[in-house]
Amino acid sequence: MEGEMMTGNLAAAWGARLAGVDYVPAFPITPQTEIVEALAKWCENGAMAARFVTMDSEHSMMTAAGAAAATGARVFTATSSQGLLYAIEVLYSISGWRVPLVLVNVSRALAAPITLEPDHNDVLASRDCGFLQIHAETCQEVLDSILMAYRIAEDERVMLPVIVNLDGFYLSFTREPVIIPDPEQVKLFLPPFRPAHLGFKASAPHALGVAVLGGTPYSYFRHQMHLAAMNALDVHREAAAAFEQLFGRPYDVVEGYRLEDAEDVLVMTNAFASKGKGAVDVARAEGKRVGLLRLRMIRPWPADAICHALQGRRAVAVLDQNLSPGQGGILFQEIAACLYHEALRPRALCSFIGGLGGKNISEGELRAIFEQTAEAGIRGKGIGPVLLYTEAEHREMVQLQVLAAGSRAES
């Protein structure tokens, strides 16, 4: 086996190190902390030629990150969950400045109730802020995506920041073999950072992020961010081609798994997609024609690639590891919207909610998804949102509630 065993967090740190970043403002938060610990060590011992600064909050951290990138430095930072939401005001500023830094988010469910394990409500809360989003399934993909993220972000056709997302625990603390790309090859892949519109200096003063009065300029600039994000689809394709040529690993905005003759398709993101692929294999062995579509790029939304993968299927199930209370799964809505105009759209679209707060999604639950989705396809009517929650989990929950209530009788 090639490479070496490392966690998703260490792979993220390696991505920043290989990208030759100049600056790392940091703030610890579980389950991300290991990333900044590794970077602190490397900045200190000279393995990286970057300045590492521990900030006073994620809000300050993101501000420093954006301001440094606006000054012309290549910047990396990382956070998670509450930290991401604490900084979210600044995310909008940074994308508005059109500053191309890379932020790793290690997904973790949001309080309240406070918890540590992952789901995707944190990263999807930043869905509309103008950052591009790449969601990784493996530790290798975390590292590779960070390198690609810089190349895409710094392209003049894009100039937007990127979030690379990985799941807390299931990737952040999980070790698996990762190939560390050759630094010289990385230099070929990633040209130096020389943005035309950024960089404060005495000889060329400029004002950035200035107020605009009235909707005319505001609409214009906000729409430019949209066009820039849409350009990232082409730029990603070019970057992926160059990456494959140099490093031999192909990436696309979506990844199809055993889709070729699949009747029913399960849509997933992030680390649990590995489990989804396992469930596809089991079902295939039983002769069921199922496949999996993993969304890798969430922003820009790869509508064409998604439609291409899902058109003509009998039924599609979207497994959202997030919940928008009062609406359901966030990605389900987006999938449904982009399939609307497909003449060959699936007969049924099913919405499943699973893995909230890091809850496991068992093989049995995945099997239930395939069964219910097949039935929906036959019926020609979708279902959901259905929360993946087993009888055993329900029993466990009741016991916890009994303990929490103690002797006080509350109804």
Partner 1 sequence: MTWQRETFKKIKQIPREEHVLPGTALCAGCGGLEALRLAAKVLGDDVVYVNAAGCFTMLAAYPFTPFKGSWLYTTMGSAPAGAQGVRDALDVLIAKGRLPKEEDLKVVVLGGDGSTYDMALSSTSGAITRKLDFYYFCYDNEAYGNTGAQLSPATPYGARTTTSPCSLQHPSGTTQEKKDIFEIWRAHKPPYIATVAPRYPLDLEEKFARAAKFTGPKLFLALSACPTGWLYDPGETPEVAKLAVETGLWPLKEAINGEVTHTYIPKRKPVEEYLKLQGRFRHLFEPTRQDDAIRHIQARVDEYWQQVKG
Partner 2 sequence: MQAVRFHGRGGQGAKTASRILGTAAFLEGYQAQDSPIYGAERRGAPVAAFTRIAKEPIRERGLIARPDLVVIADASLIDDPAARVLDGIDERTAVFVNSSLTAEQLGAQTSHAGRLTTLDLTDIALQQFGKRGAISALLGAVAGRLVGLRRESIHEAIARELADFGLAAPVIERNQTVALQCYDAVRTVSVVAGAPQPIAPAQLQVPTYEPPTRGTARISAAANSVLRETGGWRTFRPVLVPDKCNGCWLCFAYCPDGVISMNKDDRPVIDYDHCKGCQICVHECPTEALVAEREKEGAVAWKAK
CA atoms within 13 A on the CB side of 106: 29
Residue 197 as a binder of partner 2 (CB under 8 A): the answer is: yes
Listed in order, strand segments (DSSP E) in 13-95 are 23-26, 51-54, 76-79
Can you read off the two tokens belonging to residue 363?
A: 């093989």
353 binds, among partner 2, partner 1, none (CB under 5 to 8 A by kind): none
Q: Comparing C-alpha atoms, which of 317, 293, 323, 321 is closest to residue 305? A: 293
Q: Which residues contact 186 (CB under 8 A, 6 or more apart)?
A: 18, 19, 20, 147
- Interaction between residue 212 and partner 2 (CB under 8 A): yes
Q: Which does 242 bind (CB under 5 to 8 A by kind): partner 2, partner 1, none?
A: none
Give the binding range for partner 2 (CB under 8 A) out of 132-140, 192-200, 239-247, 362-370: 192-200
- The count of chain residues that interact with partner 2, using the rule CB under 8 A, is 28
Which of 45, 203 has the CB closer to partner 1?
Answer: 203
For residue 262, report the phi and psi dihedrals to the nearest 5 degrees. -70, 135
Residue 116 in contact with partner 1, rule: CB under 8 A? no
Q: Taking CB within 5 to 8 Å according to partner kind, which of partner 1, partner 2, none is near residue 322?
A: none
Q: Could you tell me the smallest distance in angstroms from the CB atom of residue 199 to partner 1?
A: 8
If binding is defined by CB under 8 A, does position 88 make contact with partner 2?
no
**Ranges within 115-134 binding partner 2 (CB under 8 A):** none
Report the partner that residue 400 touches, choosing among partner 2, partner 1, none (CB closer than 5 to 8 A by kind).
Answer: none
Radius of gyration of the chain (CA): 22
Q: How far is CA 260 from the centre of its chain?
A: 26
Q: CA 319, 147, 168 angle in degrees (round to 5)?
A: 40
For residues 50 and 22, is the Cβ–Cβ distance under 8 A? Answer: yes
Which phi-psi region, left, alpha or beta, contains residue 325 (left: φ > 0; alpha: ψ -120 to 50)? beta
Q: Report what 157 binds from partner 1, partner 2, none; CB cut-off 5-8 Å by kind.
A: partner 2
The count of chain residues that interact with partner 1, using the rule CB under 8 A, is 44
End-to-end alpha carbon distance in the chain: 57
Burial, 329: exposed, middle or buried (Cβ in 10 Å; 0-12, 13-18, 19+)? Answer: buried
**Which listed residue (54, 57, 224, 245) binds partner 2 by CB under 8 A?**
224
Which H helix or E strand runs over 32? none
Q: Does 299 bind partner 2 (CB under 8 A)?
A: no
Q: Which is nearer to partner 1, 25 or 300 (CB)?
A: 25
Segment 209 to 248, residues that bind partner 1, using CB under 8 A: 209-213, 217
Residues binding partner 1 (CB under 8 A):
22-23, 25, 49-51, 53, 55-57, 59-61, 63-73, 75, 89-90, 93, 97, 199-203, 205-213, 217
Residues binding partner 2 (CB under 8 A):
96-98, 156-157, 159, 195-197, 204-214, 217, 220-221, 223-224, 227-228, 231
